[in-house]
Amino acid sequence: MGQHDKSHKILQANNDVFADIFNVLLFKGEEVIKEDSLFEASASSVFMDEKGKLREQFRDVSKYWGNTEVRIALCGIENQTSIDPDMPLRLFSYDGSAYKQQLIDEPNKSGQRYPVITIVLYFGSVPWERYRTLYDTFAEFPERLRPHVNNYKANVYEISFLSDKTVNLFNSDFRFIAEYFTQIHKKQEYKPSARDIRHPYPVFNFLAKATGEQFFEYAAKLPMPQTGGVKMTNIMDRLLNEGMEKGMEKGMEKGLLRGQFETLIKLVNQNIITVKQAAEQLGMSVAKFKSTAKKLALTI
């Protein structure tokens, strides 16, 4: 997931999704943050580089928690598909700029400052074992200095490693994201729940960009309601009956046989479709499908 990719931002910018992520990961599912208590905050902040020039830096998603008169906190989300050794430094910079802004702005009507909370959602398959604190980023760090250096902490949540109990606490569309990554990590297959998707296009675009799976890319292009009334299980059936069939025909016309086989075999290996269904998509017998896959060095 690229640093400037917008797919994850579109999904997480929805207040119901944003609040749900914080409520589950920080408060164990308790509805502490209400979606109607969130309002937009600027994703950009300004800092001065070593040459004295002003530069902009961008958070992925950030929102104020409170109301237009009193701010309880500024909450931010950063997304990572790979481990960033400099993550504590990046977050320290983001949060420091937010506190600096409080010195520049007029105090809110309560006359009080407010905390800044930033969490990192990590979607990688390798555990994020290091680089969670400022100390972790230093190559050498004399022991005598430790009492005098604040050890800033990065709040990293490893989505692929969440427990089933935690995943089931999500009430928003982020549950589909968490289900996919945890299931693929633990079982190497994906069996979606039959829940309604509230924000269909953001969900499929998020999964398409984060996973690179053609299945989700096809799904994101299917006509469907803008909001609600869509189930992941129904989309899978529809994709097999409509979208995938058209995609296969187009691919065959262009000679993209291997690419289509790779897509179908992924679906077979994830137990989304059977070998027979995959073969039928290409108008082949099961035996022909298997032999062609073998020639292409693809494993079922």
| Contact call for residues 230 and 181 (beta carbons, < 8 A) | no
Structure tokens at 100: 């600096």
Question: Based on the number of CB atoms within 10 Å of its own CB, is 222 exposed (0-12), middle (13-18) or buried (19 or more)?
Answer: middle
Region for 297 from its dihedrals, namely left if φ exceeds 0, alpha if ψ lies in -120 to 50, beta otherwise: left
The model's pLDDT over 252-299, given as tens digits with 9 standing for 90+, comes to 444 446 667 788 888 888 877 888 888 877 777 888 888 888 877 788
Residue with the larger pLDDT of the pair 203 and 103: 203
Name residue 196's amino acid: D
CA distance 151 to 153: 6
Residue with the larger pLDDT of the pair 229 and 29: 29
CA distance 270 to 239: 15
Is residue 62 helix, strand or coil?
strand
Q: What is the mean pLDDT of residues 3-27?
A: 87
Residue 3's pLDDT is 41
| Sign of the torsion formed by the C-alpha atoms of 285, 287, 292 and 296 | positive
Residue 236's pLDDT is 75
CA distance 176 to 145: 45
CA distance 3 to 58: 9
Mean pLDDT check: name the lowest of 35-44, 49-58, 175-184. Answer: 49-58
Residues ≥6 apart with Cβ < 8 Å to 76: 59, 60, 61, 62, 63, 94, 95, 98, 116, 117, 118, 119
| Sign of the torsion formed by the C-alpha atoms of 92, 93, 94 and 96 | positive
- Residue appearing with tokens 């290091």: 130
The model's pLDDT over 50-89, given as tens digits with 9 standing for 90+, comes to 555 545 567 889 999 997 678 899 999 999 999 999 999 9
Alpha helix (H) residue ranges in the chain: 7-12, 15-27, 87-104, 164-167, 174-187, 200-211, 214-221, 232-238, 244-253, 257-269, 275-281, 286-295
Structure tokens at 289: 């499908």
Give the Cβ contact number of residue 72 at 10 Å.
Answer: 17
Q: What are the sequence ranges of the domains in the chain?
A: 1-190
Q: What is the mean pLDDT of residues 235-254?
A: 56
Check whether 202 has a pLDDT greater than 70: yes
